Amino acid sequence: MPKRNKITIIGGGNVGATAAHWAASKELGDVVLVDIVDGMPQGKCLDLFQSSPVELFDAKITGTNNYEATANSDIIIITSGLARKPGMSREDLQNKNAEIVAEVTRNVSKYSPDSVIIVVTNPLDIMCTVAHRVSGFPKNRVVGMAGILDTARYRAFLAEALDISVEDIQALVLGGHGDDMVPLIRYTTVSGVPVSELLPKDKLDAIVDRTRKGGGEIVSLLKTGSAYYAPSAAAVQMAEAILKDKRRMLPCAALLEGEYGINGIFVGVPVILGRNGVEKVVEVSLTLEERQALHASAGRVKEGVDKLPAL
């Protein structure tokens, strides 16, 4: 009898709990949700389990404050971390989250040495380095979620502007997460038709700009938190591609070793995601301007990595 897949999600906050919801409702496998808050992951998981007879999914759903129950997971999604508080610098946040991600990675890699780790915690590209260094996993088994979210925002805005199905829009963004992303309009198509044939340049530029600021737009509306439906859906799409060995080509943060002329840092690039995690980094040709933007973005990631405390 084939055993069910097992997905562990660390951090039972907005992104983590919603990822548990998507993963369970898609029947990707059994789900374990870990948080440090006593009772919270247990309560959310009991509630999610009780939705299963209505939504018709079979999955064992476990909430816990420790790591025994995570043993032998196929996938680990790390969402644990702090949000930036008033008065906290970007660097303070980075150090605090690096501490959290390092501690969590030590635990998950001990209990699930063969897993693939999907990092979600911000600052994303830098936290990928933390998870990679601390786990000692090969580079293909540590991958970050950001590009799928950025492209999802871009695709949603394009579908709205064109008044057509989101299903028919394919797009690619490169680079670091958020402000630093490098959207490739040349590679954006609507069922194979270049989007520049269907929308005027000023409209496209406005959509790119809104996408870049997509996270901030939501924070300013929510006031007390950041986006979580789309981020969690994106992380679960990555988990699905890996668990089902779909070999999907998706923009993810991967450790580059010479690809795109970049070495030793995680940055958003198109990858093939399959059972081994990052099966391949796909190199597409870039214009000079796109290449410069990617390198500038990678340079900022490197500055952050250089400031990491010893792990």
Instruction: Show which residues are catalytic.
Output: 177
Beta bridge partners of 137: none
When binding is defined by CB under 6 A, the residue of 104, 128, 254, 255 that contacts ligand TXD is 104
Residues 6+ away with beta carbon under 8 Å from 240: 26, 28, 246
253/293 with CB nearer ligand TXD: 253
195, HSE (Cβ side, Cα atoms, 13 Å): 28
Residues 206 and 212: their CA atoms lie apart, in Å, by 10
Site stretch for ligand TXD (CB under 6 A), options 121-129, 206-214, 236-244, 282-290: 121-129
Which residue sits closest to ligand TXD, CB atoms considered?
Answer: 13
When binding is defined by CB under 6 A, the residue of 121, 140, 237, 297 that contacts ligand TXD is 121
**What is the tally of helices (H) and strands (E) in the chain?**
9, 14
When binding is defined by CB under 6 A, the residue of 128, 131, 149, 182 that contacts ligand TXD is 149
Residue 268 touching ligand TXD (CB under 6 A): no
Residue 131 touching ligand TXD (CB under 6 A): no
When binding is defined by CB under 6 A, the residue of 9, 102, 124, 171 that contacts ligand TXD is 124
Measured distance between the N- and C-terminal CA atoms of the chain, rounded to whole angstroms: 41
Residue 83 touching ligand TXD (CB under 6 A): yes
**Residue 175 belongs to what H/E stretch?**
strand 173-175
When binding is defined by CB under 6 A, the residue of 70, 73, 109, 122 that contacts ligand TXD is 122
Residue 62 touching ligand TXD (CB under 6 A): no
Residues 6+ away with beta carbon under 8 Å from 276: 116, 140, 141
Residue 225 touching ligand TXD (CB under 6 A): yes
x/- letters, 175..214, toward ligand TXD (CB under 6 A): --x-------------------------------------
Residue 100 touching ligand TXD (CB under 6 A): yes
Contact 77, 118 (CB under 8 A): yes
Residue 61 touching ligand TXD (CB under 6 A): no
Tokens describing residue 207: 């959509």
Residues 76 and 63: their CA atoms lie apart, in Å, by 14
Residues 149 and 235: their CA atoms lie apart, in Å, by 9
Q: Please report the beta strands in 113-247, taking only residues with DSSP state E, as ranges in sequence order.
A: 116-119, 142-144, 169-170, 173-175, 181-183, 189-190, 193-194
Q: Which residues bind ligand TXD (CB under 6 A)?
A: 10-16, 34-37, 79-81, 83, 100, 103-104, 120-122, 124, 145-146, 149, 177, 225-228, 231
